[in-house]
Each structure stands twice: as C-alpha cells, then as structure tokens.
Amino acid sequence: MKLDAKVVVVTGGSQGLGKTLATSLVEEGAVVAIIGRDKLKLEQVQRSIGDSVLDFACDISDPASVRKTFTAIAQKMGRIDALINNAAVYPPFMFEVATDEQIQTVINTNLLGAIYCCREVLPYLKKTSGDIVNISSESVRFYPPLVSVYAASKSALETFSQCLRGEVAGDGVRVSVLRCGSIVSAAAPTLDEKAVAELIKVYEKSGFLAQTGAGMEGSTVAASILHLLSLPRDANIDLMEIRSRN
C-alpha cells in the first residue's frame, strides 16, 4: 500500500472531504487522526471507518486546544507523518454588513487554525521527514462575490505555505498546497433559504457559477492528495490545482 503504517492527521475530519480523505487514507494503509469540533460526529466517522481511525475533538482556532491535541495524537499514535489542513468555513455574506464574528470566524478557522496546526506538528514531522498539505480554493483566482474574507484567508494560506516550505525544506519536511475547485459531495454550510437564494443570484450574475463548473466527487480530490503524500522524496509539488472538468 502507498501509505503503509503512516500516521496522517486530517483536520475537519467529521464530514465532507475530511471524512472522504480519512476513508481513502485508510484504504492505502495509513492510520488516521481526525480532528474536529463535534465529538459525536467524529465518533460516528471513526465507527464507520474502523480501528485505523482515531478521533480527537479540537477547536483549531484555539492555539491551546491545538497544542494539547497534537501532544495527545503523538502520545497515542507514536509518531506523525503528515498533516492535511482541510478544515474551513465559508459562510457567504456581503462584506459591507459583515459582523465582527463572521470575519473573525473565517480568519481564525481557515488561516490561523491552519497556521497553529502547522506550528504544532512541525517537531514531529522533522523526525519523520513528513508532509504538510494545505488545502486552498479556486476562489483565490476567480474572486467570487460574497466570500471575500474566505478567499482572502485561502490566498494568505497559500503565501504562508510558500514561505514555510523554504524554512523546513532542509529538515526534510515537504509543504504542498492543493488549490481545490467545487466538490459536489462536500457538506455545505448551514444557510437560510434567503441567503442561498441571494448567493445563487449573485453568482449567476457575476458568472462565477459558469467558471466553477459542475463540481467533483470528494474521492477525486482525495486521490490527488494521496498522490502528493506518496510522491518520491526527491520532489515537492509546491502547488497542485484541481478543478471541475465541466
């Protein structure tokens, strides 16, 4: 198997792409630690996949929680070979009327959360010559309305990843970015009907729906991440972009 006995941490592992990733990683021989806020959902995923998955409740926007969680993962699993920063929130809102909480939640989860996880995992990855995969979004180059803060958080994550790559390359740690398009099977954020209607209206008018395409299956995206992790150690894919074909 490609990832036989590797220990991989997946944030946002309780649903959507995170759950699909955990399943695909286990199928390739990995042992997976899934991280998320909702302990009950994490436990459901763990039971559905099996003993090769361990669940750890954690709020990645809280650095103390992240620190405690990665210590627990390393103690429980013995090592860490890879981190996939998958967790993200993307609530649409008109920026002019955005609340402090809306802005802070997006930045704290999508950017700071990923940064905190990278910081805590690095000592373990240096021991195993491991990998970090930070998941970005096609929004960084298509500039969709109503998700300006989300797009900004992903753009910043890409820049952070580029800088971090240079810092840790000499330690044998690889850092990659997967810039991802729409996923049809991903869990959608909880929105009221009015917000959904406004989102569709604005996206149709701006042409963004035509740009983003029909969407991909989560398993398609997971296969790309498996490729990044199983790449021979003499190479690093700095940025991989995967988008819906039509």
Residue 49: name the closest of 14, 94, 5 by CA: 14
Domains located in the chain, CATH noted: 7-242 (3.40.50.720)
Share of the chain above pLDDT 70, in %: 94
pLDDT value for 203: 78
Task: From residue 14, give the alpha-carbon distance in Å to each of 18, 33, 101, 139.
Answer: 6, 11, 23, 23
pLDDT value for 190: 55
Question: Which tokens sit at 65?
Answer: 């929680």
Q: What is the DSSP string of 1-30?
A: -TTTT-EEEEESTTSHHHHHHHHHHHHTT-
pLDDT reading at 189 higher than 70? no
Catalytic residue among 90, 116, 124, 150: 150
pLDDT digits (tens, 9 = 90+) for 27-53: 999 999 999 999 999 999 999 999 999
150 is catalytic: yes
Task: Compare 208 and 66 and report the one with higher pLDDT.
Answer: 66
Task: Compare 146 and 41 and report the one with higher pLDDT.
Answer: 41
pLDDT reading at 192 higher than 60? no
pLDDT reading at 188 higher than 50? no
pLDDT value for 195: 67
Point out the least confidently predicted range of 149-158, 191-200, 231-240.
Answer: 191-200
| Averaged pLDDT of the chain | 93
In 120-191, the DSSP E strands lie at 131-137, 174-180
**Mean pLDDT, to the nearest integer, of 226-244?**
95
pLDDT digits (tens, 9 = 90+) for 8-17: 999 999 999 9
pLDDT reading at 136 higher than 70? yes
Residue corresponding to tokens 């199983």: 230
Quote the DSSP letter at residue 62: S
- Confidence at 207, pLDDT banded by 50, 70, 90: confident
Task: From residue 243, give the alpha-carbon distance in Å to each of 84, 122, 149, 189.
Answer: 19, 29, 21, 20
Share of the chain above pLDDT 90, in %: 80
pLDDT reading at 97 higher than 90? yes
Residue corresponding to tokens 């930070």: 134
